[in-house]
Amino acid sequence: MSKIIKQYADQVNGIEVYPIVSLLIFTIFFVGMLLYVRQISKESVHELSNMPLDVQEENKTQNA
């Protein structure tokens, strides 16, 4: 199977650019997520972590 893919990949002009571009996209996304996580406040993290529990409590009070 990989032999067939390699034959077609060798015929494509400029194919060596795709792994570099995909690595750059991954790296930029990963670094961006790290920066976002480092700057978010602890209060926001606490509020977001309790969201699933808050929704269940709201449903119980509405149904009662």
pLDDT in tens, 34-48: 999 999 999 998 888
User: How far apart are the two ends of the chain, measured CA to CA in Å?
Assistant: 60
Q: Which residue has the tokens 């920066």?
A: 35
Domain housing 57:
2-63
Q: Which amino acid is at 11?
A: Q
* Residue 11 pLDDT: 86
25-to-15, 30, 48, 52 alpha-carbon distances in Å: 16, 9, 27, 32
This prediction has a pTM of 0.58
Which pLDDT tens digit goes with each residue over 1-28? 688 888 888 888 888 899 999 999 999 9
Give 58's pLDDT tier (boundaries 50, 70, 90). low
Other beta carbons within 10 Å of 9 = 12
Contact of 15 with 9, CB cutoff 8 Å? yes
Report the number of distinct structural domains present in the chain: 1
